[in-house]
Structure 1
Amino acid sequence: MLAWALVARLLPAWFVERVDPVPDEDELPVSTLELFFDLIFVFVIAQFTAIIAHDPLMGLLQAALMFGVLWWMFAGYSWLTNVIPPHRPARRVLLLCAMAGWLLIGLTVPAAFHGGNVWLAVGFLVVVLVHGLMYLQATRAFGPVFAANLAAAAAVFGAELVSDGLWRYLLWGLAAAIVWSVPIWHGQRGLHLHPAHITERHGLVVLVVLGESVVAIGIGARALPIDADLLVAAILGLAVCACLWWSLFVHDLPATEHVLASTKDPVRRVRKVLAGLSYAFVPVLMGILVLAAGIEHAIGHATAPLDFASSLLLSGGTAVFLLGTAGLRLAMPLRGPWRRVALAAAVLAVAPLGLVNTALQLGAIVVVLGAGLALERRGLRPAPAPQPSE
């Protein structure tokens, strides 16, 4: 902390502003700047989808390693604006600087495992520095986390500077291991989160990424004739995305906000956010990326069979998303986590249908999801009040 005190004396006064008084939990709306910030993530996500669509096997491994690191930092900005709302001009400027760092990351992600690109590491370092220096204004308990994020940035620099492919994979894996080990050795004391804001911010990120699935429909439709092959696949792809939205936003996220608001101990609340919104949202978001890559392959081929990899992307991405929602339910806890595991297994079971016909597999996924969500809705209804006996 001595180093931070020295930095605070050297930096201009506008940077080290005093933190505003903590507002009530229901008085922290998500700002338009935060929405703007989330939209930058769309570009990064689009790059991951393209990587997976180009090479389903190695692309998925590369996307998973990079996403594991980048999601930690992106979720960290949800925490940052939760404790330091961007109400002052200086904070807004700093967040805009962080957005420039994210833009650098998005532009250079495709080259990360193909020759390397040091500008990706530079963008990541900018993101880490802005996040850490701003967060330290709110609590000194963030100091060890900042140090871990800087260590991860060093690993990313190493990954983008080495020439050997295997070392690149190992160093990206090391960066992911560093950041995701933080909750194990950090006690989470001194960190405070507002339930409504943190839930809404994570939900907005999922909405943004679901939008990427719709973008994948447009990408796959470029230069294709407007016929049944295009329209049927596009509509069924949208129906799958709509079912995923329903599975998370109609019940689970409102219930999550209620559980977090009911958890008065700040340490327990932070741990629930970590488990339910940070850890569990890795498969939620990766599932959407994998599904989007599958939809990109399916567009324009509704009446034709898919190859095995593409059919697995469609069912596998949906199933991974459902497993992530099961993790959210376990972490809060909410009712019915094992129903989501069973629903994920049912979605995987229809994957071979894609080898026969693309529309058949997409339609089967929609039917399975619709039936599963309908059964869940019946199970979540409150029991009718007993009638008085005559």
Structure 2
Amino acid sequence: MTRLLPRWFVEHVNPVADEDDLPVSTLELFFDLIFVFTVAQFTAVIAYDPLIGLIQSVLMFGFLWWMYAGYSWLTNVIPPERPARRILLLCAMAGWLVVALTVPAAFASGSVWIAVGMLVVVLVHGLMYLQAARSFGPVFIANLAAVAAVFAAELGPEGAWRYSLWALAAVIVWSVPFWHGQRGLNLHPAHITERHGLVVIVALGESVVAIGIGARDLPVDADLLLAAVLGLAIGACMWWSLFVRDLPATEHRLTATTDAVKRVRKVLAGLSYAFIPVLLGILVFAAGLKHAVGHALSPLDVESTWLLSGGVAAFLVGTAGLRLAMPLPRPWERVALAAVVLALAPIGLVNTALQLGAITAVLVAALAWEGRAAAAPATRGSSPVRSG
């Protein structure tokens, strides 16, 4: 397939093979901001109709997250250092912007433009990646098949047809690792870890944006400030749970994995699959927080209480998946913590601030316990040996 590409494309986009220390570029940060606008749109969809909106968001996010992760892999092997690469990434960003703008209409009235945007995203990604690995050809074809399913979904009738075809698009792409051997692919551990971490950081910022949207036209009083501060505290705990130990340890584990295929499979399991609940959890929590702001001293509706606790619980389950994949210590403790947070949802039916405060207290206590448990082996190892 690469022989059919124009010579200009091959000469200007072909990757350099000897780049060991690969920093994340400012263009990649710009790219992440465009993608997170898409995440923000999902938050709005869920906040408008928690049940149906969540189903629609999960179906769409399945395909969209696969392609975002694909771009983090792409810039890992083809850094955007040449003008042609930068221009192509900017074209892909235009495709992502079209996708983000049309997310709210994808199931409501149908919008073929979301399929057009995804086609641009997939074409740029595939044609660039083929310059790094010819084994990517079958993956490119699978991505195009998923885009075809999206076109069929948006051009067809509403209802079950549209839902089933979006689900088919997600199944097509996420089945790729099961039949593709991952040979011929290689990844820089520091770069791939940082890229996935950065999109989580920007997505966490979405929870702060949710506070601002929820606070629009509201008086600055205890109802507003209490929910805003507690919401920020929960977001800070989510950041702490992932970035203080898990992601640095993930980079270390990936660096220690010298077999390229095993490294790729760890990235797939720990940073691609496991980050689905991580990111969905953030946007679900943000949707619940949008409803909670301004109502801290009053009861919350049932849907919003489950959005708050369910979003945090999903995030924690995702971090447990990361720990299992690398592997890192104590993954099942995160699953237990997620169950505890989920059980706190009914408290919001009594008082919103009580639920937010309870989630915050449980997270702080769990993180403090994790910190002591992680420090205990090091303390025992450094203790002096008494002479007899």
Instruction: Give the TM interval when normalised to the shorter protein.
Output: over 0.9
Cα distance, 1:16 vs. partner?
5.0
Output the CA distance in 1 between the equivalents of 2:90 and 2:59: 26
Output the CA distance in 2 between the equivalents of 1:224 and 1:305: 17
- The yes-or-no answer on 1:114 pairing with 2:112 is no
Other-structure match for 2:19? 23
User: Alignment partner for residue 375 of structure 1, among 366, 369, 381?
Assistant: 369
Other-structure match for 1:55? 49
1:265-344 mapped onto 2 (5 Å cutoff): 265-344=259-338
Other-structure match for 1:136? 130
Determine if contact 2:47/2:291 at 8 Å carries over to the other structure: yes
Determine if contact 1:213/1:289 at 8 Å carries over to the other structure: yes
Determine if contact 1:322/1:341 at 8 Å carries over to the other structure: yes
Other-structure match for 1:5? 3
Determine if contact 2:109/2:158 at 8 Å carries over to the other structure: no
Determine if contact 1:15/1:90 at 8 Å carries over to the other structure: no
Determine if contact 1:354/1:361 at 8 Å carries over to the other structure: yes
User: Alignment partner for residue 76 of structure 2, among 78, 82, 94?
Assistant: 82
Q: Give, as a single letter, the amino acid of the residue that structure 1 aligns with 2:19.
A: P
User: Alignment partner for residue 208 of structure 2, among 199, 207, 214?
Assistant: 214
Other-structure match for 2:219? 225
Output the CA distance in 1 between the equivalents of 2:150 and 2:11: 27
Cα distance, 1:15 vs. partner?
6.5
Cα distance, 1:17 vs. partner?
3.6
Cα distance, 1:5 vs. partner?
1.3
Cα distance, 1:22 vs. partner?
2.8
What whole-Å deviation, never above 9, does each CA across 1:94-150 have from its counterpart, x for those lacking one?
A: 000000000000100000001100010000000000000000001101101000000
User: Alignment partner for residue 38 of structure 1, among 32, 36, 47?
Assistant: 32
Output the CA distance in 1 between the equivalents of 2:10 and 2:186: 24
Other-structure match for 1:193? 187
Other-structure match for 1:360? 354
Q: Give, as a single letter, the amino acid of the residue that structure 2 aligns with 1:6.
A: L
SS in 1 for 2:107: coil
Determine if contact 1:68/1:176 at 8 Å carries over to the other structure: yes
Determine if contact 1:53/1:294 at 8 Å carries over to the other structure: yes
Determine if contact 1:315/1:351 at 8 Å carries over to the other structure: yes
Q: Give, as a single letter, the amino acid of the residue that structure 2 aligns with 1:310.
A: S
Output the CA distance in 2 between the equivalents of 1:277 and 1:224: 39
Q: Give, as a single letter, the amino acid of the residue that structure 1 aligns with 2:27.
A: L
What whole-Å deviation, never above 9, does each CA across 1:14-45 have from its counterpart, x for those lacking one?
A: 77543213312xx1000000000000012111
TM-score (norm 1): 0.97
Runs of 4+ off more than 6 Å: none
Q: Give, as a single letter, the amino acid of the residue that structure 2 aligns with 1:376.
A: E
Determine if contact 2:13/2:85 at 8 Å carries over to the other structure: no
Cα distance, 1:264 vs. partner?
0.1
5+ long unaligned stretches in structure 1 = none
Determine if contact 1:230/1:300 at 8 Å carries over to the other structure: yes
Output the CA distance in 1 between the equivalents of 2:283 and 2:13: 39
Output the CA distance in 2 between the equivalents of 1:276 and 1:74: 15
Q: Give, as a single letter, the amino acid of the residue that structure 2 aligns with 1:314.
A: L
Output the CA distance in 2 between the equivalents of 1:167 and 1:17: 39
Other-structure match for 2:146? 152
Output the CA distance in 1 between the equivalents of 2:311 and 2:86: 35
SS in 1 for 2:204: helix
Determine if contact 1:14/1:90 at 8 Å carries over to the other structure: no
Q: Give, as a single letter, the amino acid of the residue that structure 1 aligns with 2:17.
A: P
User: RMSD across aligned C-alpha pairs, in angstroms?
Assistant: 1.0
Q: For this pair of structures, how many residues does the alignment match?
A: 384
In structure 2, relative to structure 1, the CA distance for the partners of 1:5 and 1:364 (3 Å cut) is: same
What whole-Å deviation, never above 9, does each CA across 1:260-296 have from its counterpart, x for those lacking one?
A: 0000000000000000000000000000010000000
Determine if contact 2:12/2:85 at 8 Å carries over to the other structure: no
TM-score (norm 2): 0.97
- The yes-or-no answer on 1:69 pairing with 2:60 is no
In structure 2, relative to structure 1, the CA distance for the partners of 1:314 and 1:44 (3 Å cut) is: same
Output the CA distance in 2 between the equivalents of 1:16 and 1:6: 15
SS in 2 for 1:57: helix
Q: Give, as a single letter, the amino acid of the residue that structure 2 aligns with 1:135.
A: Y
Cα distance, 1:378 vs. partner?
1.0
Determine if contact 1:247/1:373 at 8 Å carries over to the other structure: yes
User: Alignment partner for residue 245 of structure 2, among 221, 237, 251?
Assistant: 251
Cα distance, 1:358 vs. partner?
0.2
Cα distance, 1:13 vs. partner?
4.5
